[in-house]
Amino acid sequence: MEVKDSNGNILEDGDNVHVIKDLKVKGMSKTLKRGNVIKNISLTSSPQEVECRVGKSHIVLKTQFLKRA
């Protein structure tokens, strides 16, 4: 199963990604701003989602809002 970012690049476990759009995350008081770097992502069973850690929280993000760093 290939997981691709918004530009069509293939993502792998441990990659770093940039957020390409301001995202409001449910359950968090802060917003993920465009350009934030998220390090060490983990792939999930869905090809449209990745799991990552932001602060002390584990969240799942859609790959359409990410690009490979």
pLDDT, averaged across the chain = 95
Tell me the pTM. 0.88
Phi, psi of 61 (to 5 degrees): -120, 150
What is the rounded average pLDDT of the residues 32-54? 96
Say what the pLDDT of residue 65 is.
Answer: 97
Q: Confidence class of residue 7 from pLDDT cuts 50, 70 and 90?
A: very high
